[in-house]
Structures are given as structure tokens and as C-alpha cells.
Structure 1
Amino acid sequence: MTDRQLFEPYALGAITLSNRIVMAPLTRNRAGVGFVPSELAAEYYAQRASAGLIISEASQISQQGQGYQDTPGIYTQAQIEGWRKVTDAVHAKGGRIFLQLWHVGRVSHVDLQPNGQAPVAPSAIKVQTKTFVNNAFVDVSEPRALELDEIAGIVADFRQAAANAISAGFDGVEVHGANGYLLDQFAKDGANTRTDAYGGSVENRARLILEVTAAVAAEIGPERTGIRLSPVSPANGISASDPQSQFDYIVAKLDELNIAYIHVVEGATGGPRDVAPFDFGALRSRFRNGYIANNGYDLELAASHLTDGKADLFAFGRLFIGNPDLVERLKVGAPLADFNPATLYGGGAAGYTDYPALADATGA
């Protein structure tokens, strides 16, 4: 098998992708008033529609779920209509796009929360990390533990957000169960010290992530449902004493739901792949459908892992920022452009929609 097979179609759940290259979700903090996707967002995503699948930037399922300034939501009619412009633009270019749904849990700030309330979490444990609010990076706020009778409302918010995403024209949704956000917080004992049905054992700590995924799949179909996991990433101060047993169990249960894919951050998010011992092959063996591999991939490593059957699809993140036509560049072996770190978060077209495609950059 050669890297040529990375650029061949792949059947994922209810849709067929034009290739096996996935655009990973990338937070860009450019939503407009009401946390509606900006007018530029449609152009930004359409420029990258040659990806086999685009997974959108994470979008909060409620105001309570927001953790950063100017991130888009998917809980109001205006947000649905804003996202419709994005999906229409991507589909017009022949692309496929899923919406990533998140609730950040304790990774938030009171200035973003309804009525200035404390962020919520499985347990009242403040994490040493920062968020972006009021145009600055600041420490997150002290959280409060969710009451048992509040948890069903979180599940309902995910379900409604999934329905809204389909109304907005998305091909499916990805549940954000990674990177130290709410569902990951429940799954890992470094953040979850509950003693009720959602804490303690492997099974109890997996309960919320599985309930949410089951609710989303029931709402829009398992074939249009995926989930992102990061078993050993320390992102946002998260930790677990038993990641292998925890995620072996979670993935086996996700397989029973017959969802379209698992999207796995292999190692530390945006960092080393060998941050901690973990058998990712064990997750692969427990899941019958698509496996999207993420973290530190280049063309050579992706081709090698495809040949070895370690993954089906490969997610690239920041490379898509400066290279809107990343798929074509990889296919022909063209040079890859850098991106400007100063324009990653917030702002307008600069560093967002003004990166040229290869033909434009070379004058071809």
C-alpha cells in the first residue's frame, strides 16, 4: 500500500468521503454577535472543502457550555442559520462537514457563564489552566460540582444540539469527549471524585460520555455520529490513574452503539505522541467502524499506519490553517506554508481566509 490510497474515497457511516484526510477541529474565536458564525466562516471552511471530512471548530451546546471568548454556539435559531451558510458553502464545493459539539465544564470563566455563575464540573476541583476571555488569557474560574439532577439536562442539551446541527445542514456531529472538557472530566479520576452513579468505578465514570453519545445517536442516527477521545492527553490539566482500562471500556461500549467513528488523540494534544504508555491498538481492535488517528501525523506516518491497518482516516489540524488546499499539497508533494501564530485566535480575515492556495501562491 502506498500513500496514493490516502487520496481514494472512503465510506464513513452514511456518507462517502473523497479521501482519507480529515481537517481536525480548530478553535479560531471569530464568532459574531450572539455567538453566530461570522460571515467569513463560510469562506474559511469552503476554502478547505477538499478535505475528505471537515470537523468544525467546537461549538457550545448551551451558554453554560462555553469556555472561550467568541466561540460559536448551536443552541439558537440565529446560530443554526449562521452555520447553514457554512454547510451550504462547503457542500457547494463538494465537501463534507461534521459539527463538533462541546461543553467545556470547568475550563471556563464566570464572565462567560449565565448571570456570572460558576462553571460546572463533575467535582469542585479548580484546574490550573487558562482560558481566553475579554481579549486576554486568564486563569479559569473556580467550578462547582453538578448536582445529580442536573446531569440529565446536559444530556438533553447535547441531543438538542445534534438535532440543531442537522437542521443547519451538517452531515453529522462529533461529540467532544477529549482534551479535559466536561465529558473527559467525568471519565477521568483526576477531575472526578464523585461518589454517586457518575463517579468511582470505570463504569460509573464512563456513564455520562456514553449517555451523551447514545442520546446523540438516537436523535440523528449512529451513522452520523462520531466522538473525539484523548485517553492520555494532559490538556487542560486533566489526568487519569487508569486510562487503559477506562478507555478500553468506553470504546467497547461505543462499538455497541455502532457509531460512525472514534477520533483519537494519540498522545498529548498538539504535543508528543509518547507522553504516557498506552495501547492505541487496543482501542482500534475494540471498534468495528472508522478510526480517525490524530496527533503529529505527516504524509509518511499516515501512509505507514494505513498500510499497517492502525487507522482508517488521519486528522491534520494546524497544517490546514496556512494550507487551505492541504490535500492537494500532500498529494503532489508541494511545500507546506507556515501560519501566523499571532492571528490564530480572534480577529478578521487576516490569518483566517487570506492564506493562498498553491496555485495562487505560485502564480500558476
Structure 2
Amino acid sequence: MPTLFDPLTLGALTVPNRVIMAPLTRSRASRDGIPTPIMAEYYVQRASAGLIISEAIGVSRQGNGFTYTPGLWTDAQMGAWKPITQAVHAAGGLIVAQLAHNGRAGHHTVIGEQPVSSSATVSPVAAWTYDGPKPSEMSRPLAVEEIPGLVASYSRAASNAIAAGFDGIQIHAANGMLIDQFLRNNSNARTDAYGGSIENRLRPLRQITQAVVEVVGADRTSVRLSPNGATWGVDDSDPTPLFTAAAEMLDGIGIGFLELKEHGPAGTFLPTDVPRQSPMMRRFFRGPLVLNCDYDRTRAQADLDSGLADAISFGRPFIANPDLVRRLYERAPLTPAADATFYTQGTEGYTDYPTLEDIAAVA
């Protein structure tokens, strides 16, 4: 069986190892969604990952609902991403752009309008604004005639991402964001072609995925789902038929890989007793499957050995251990991440975590 340190083909990409850097919001961009120079250093430090999946990148101002997060809907944003992707490539790394729309997780003071969703609902989680957390607002349901514009925003952002030098696209359909709000039945109360049946609730994901594939190719397109338990208050009463149907649909489109974030009963965040859906989804999705959430080296290798996963994505361990691949290979201790600096705007807790070489140099 393969190890974490063996190469793997993910669609059009051949990655040198199976230790993937998961998408991680870090809030180091400008208020208008333009990446900043320190982001290049951050990603370069982690270029030894088999593949870097970028932080969530907004496809429009309407969808960029978190503070200081980057976008790809303007030329200025695209231009600021170019030196970042060039630096990652110069360091020997690969990086794909995760494209996102936050839906009801936004706040009018950040996005300039009332947040949108599949239905008129309010997130139970506070919205983060430039003045700190505020109660989430009632979202308005996207009208049917607005859906083509939503799809087009992903297509445009995907084109901009490729022009900016990214190696591919990941569609963020997880973690309670807008596509997830359409997928799951506790947030989608629609009675039109985008609500009710599983087929209807899958329609936005299918249309967006097909649109991105038309721009970048299926082999450079991937999707992230979070199929078990609630995230940001978004949940489903019967996840297995929903997410096996999603897996089958994405398999039919032929995407390069599928990533699943699956919480467990003892997870660091959002623990759940809802069973992992990956074993069932594996039967319907025949492409490479990347699993995520609270993995250590032993559990990661076990899921590779069983054939459940083809690669594992690591989030918080990559924040505090830029040389995570080496540390896992050498079974070296991992530095814990400082939660207080996850979403601050400076270099502290961002580009100042030491590598094993740094630690040895001062020992």
C-alpha cells in the first residue's frame, strides 16, 4: 500500500507526496480582497506539501463575507495572486485556488448588502465583521433568475485563477457556505428547481462544477464537501443518500479529486456522532479521495492502508509546522498552533513558526 510520502496523480497534477495542505482562512488580505506580500512567504514556507489548497477565495464581493479574505473577481486581485503562485512554483510547490461564496455567513457591513442563501434563514453563528462579532442577519433567498449570475461568478473567478498561475480549482461546497446551504435540508426550504428533492438541491453544485470544468478542464477541478454533522448551523436530516448522490454526480463529471472534511465524536471543533460518509461515498466516487479533519500520522496512514483514502489533508498542523511533511516523515514533534493568531493581520502566528532547521540552529 502507498505511504503518505509516495507520489499520487490528482487529475492533471502529479503530486510528490500525499500530505495535502487543507484550505485555511487566515485573514491576511486587504479589505478589498487583494492578497498581501506576506501571503507569498506563508505559502512558500509550506511548498513541500504534496499540494497546497489555498484559503477560501471569494468569487464576488457578495460572497466574500469574512474579514480580510482574498478574492478573485477583480484584475487587481488577480494581479496580486501572480507573485504568490510564481513563488510557490519556484519553491517546487503546487497550488490550487479554492473558490467560495459564504452565503448567509456574510454581514452587510462586510459585503455591502443583505446576505443571500438558498432560503430566508439566519445562521446561529455570529457573523465576523470589521467591528468584531455581530449577530447574524436574516438572509434573502437567491431568486431563480440570479442563479446563472452565481454560476458565472465561479466561472469568471476560475478563469482569473488560471490567469494568476494557479494549477487548478477547488470548489468550496463544505462548511456551511452557500453551496452547502443549498445542499442540506435544514437550510434549504425552497420549492422550486433548487429545493426539495436531492436532485434539485444538487443542482447548484452541478451547474457550478460544470461551469468551472468548461474553463479549466475536469482534471484540474476538485470539490470539497463536509458530509457529516452540522457546520455553521447547516445540517441534513439524512446525509447518506444526499452525499452518495453528490459523489456519483461528481464522478460522472470526472473531477480530478474530491476532498471530504469529516468531523468525529472527539473532534477538535464541532464534534458529531453522525457517522463518516466517506465509506459509502467511496463506492460512488472512483477518482482520488482526499480525507480531512483531526488526522495524525498513524490514523492518516491507516486510512491509506485500508484504501479508504488516497491522500490526507492537514489543516492546523500546517499552520504551526511549515515543514509538516518532513516532521511526519521523521516522526518529529509537532509545534502546537496558537489559536489567537489564526485570523489576525500580521506576521505573528503566520510566517514566524520555526522549521526543524530553525530549531536546530538555535539549540
* TM superposition score normalised by structure 1: 0.96
Helix, strand or coil: the match of 1:214? helix
Q: Residues 76-115 of structure 1 correspond to what in structure 2 (within 5 A)?
A: 76-114=74-112
Deviation at 1:180, TM superposition (A): 0.6
1:25 to 17, 23, 29: 23
Q: Which residue in the other structure is 2:38 paired with?
A: 40
Give, in angstroms, the shift of residue 279 of structure 1: 3.6
> How many Å separate the matches in 2 of 1:149 and 1:248?
28
Whether contact under 8 Å (2:231, 2:270) holds in the other structure is no
Equivalent residue for 2:355? Answer: 357
CA–CA separation in structure 2 for the residues paired with 1:159 and 1:317:
27
Q: Provide the C-alpha distance between the structure 2 equivalents of 1:304 and 1:359, rounded to a whole number of angstroms.
A: 29
Q: Quick check: 1:120 aligned with 2:116?
A: yes
Structure 1, residues 202-247: CA drift from partner, whole Å, max 9, x if none? 1001110111111111111000000000112311101111211111
Q: 1:233 aligns with which of 229, 233, 241?
A: 229
Which range moved further: 274-283 or 347-356?
Answer: 274-283
Q: Contact 1:69–1:135 at 8 Å: present in 2 too? A: no
TM-superposed CA distance for 1:285, in Å, is 1.6
1:160–1:270 Cα change, 3 Å = farther
Match for residue 187 of structure 2?
Answer: 191
Following superposition, the deviation at residue 16 of structure 1 comes to 0.7
The counterpart of 1:282, out of the listed 234, 256, 280, is 280
1:221 aligns with 2:197: no
Aligned equivalent of 1:247:
243
Which structure 1 residue ranges, 4+ long, deviate > 2 Å from structure 2?
267-275
1:139 CA drift (Å): 2.0
C-alpha displacement at 1:179, in angstroms? 0.6
Q: Secondary structure at the match of 1:327?
A: helix
State the AA in 2 paired with 1:88.
Q
Where do residues 279-358 of structure 1 align in structure 2 (5 Å cutoff)?
A: 279-358=277-356
SS of equivalent residue, structure 2 residue 4: helix
> Residues 51-90 of structure 1, C-alpha deviation per residue, up to 9 Å, x if partnerless?
0000000010000001111100001111111111110111
Letter in 2 for 1:205: R
Residue deviations 1:155-201, cap 9 Å, x none? 01011111111001000010000011100000111000000000000
Between 279-288 and 222-231, the greater mean CA deviation after superposition: 279-288
In 1, distance between residues paired with 2:261 and 2:336?
A: 22
Are residue 59 (structure 1) and residue 57 (structure 2) matched?
yes
Check the 8 A contact 2:189/2:195 in 1, yes or no: yes
User: Given residue 192 of structure 1, which amino acid in structure 2 is its aligned partner?
Assistant: N
What secondary structure sits across from 1:292 in the alignment? strand
| Shift, 1:273, TM fit | 6.6
Identity of aligned residues (%): 44
Letter matched to residue 181 of structure 1: M
Distance in 1 (alpha carbons) for counterparts of 2:268 and 2:207: 28
Q: Report if aligned partners of 2:229, 2:272 keep a CA contact under 8 Å in 1.
A: no
Q: 5+ unaligned residues in a row in structure 2: which ranges?
A: none
Letter in structure 1 aligned against 2:9 = A
In structure 2, C-alpha distance between the alignment counterparts of 1:161 and 1:72, rounded to whole Å: 12
From 7, 31, 34, the equivalent of 2:5 is 7
Which residue in the other structure is 1:209 paired with? 205
CA contact (8 A) 2:63 2:102 kept: yes
For 2:81 and 2:319, locate their aligned partners in 1 and report how far apart those are by CA, in whole Å: 19
Structure 1 unaligned regions, length at least 5: none
Q: What amino acid is the match of 1:217?
A: V
Q: Distance in 2 between matches of 1:339 and 1:229?
A: 24
Whether the aligned pair in 1 keeps the contact of 2:243 and 2:277 (CA below 8 Å) is no
Please tell me whether the aligned partners of residues 319 and 326 of structure 1 are also in contact (alpha carbons under 8 angstroms): yes
Amino acid at match of 1:38: T
CA drift at 1:138: 2.0
**What one-letter code is carried by the residue in structure 1 that aligns with 2:184?**
K
Deviation at 1:275, TM superposition (A): 2.7
SS at match of 1:230: strand
Measure the CA separation in 1 of the matches of 2:129 and 2:271: 30
Identify the residue that residue 164 of structure 2 maps to in structure 1.
168
C-alpha displacement of 1:105: 0.6
Could you tell me which amino acid in structure 1 is paired with residue 251 of structure 2?
D
Alignment partner of 1:350: what SS?
coil
- Does 2:147 correspond to 1:147? no
> How many residue pairs align between the two structures?
360
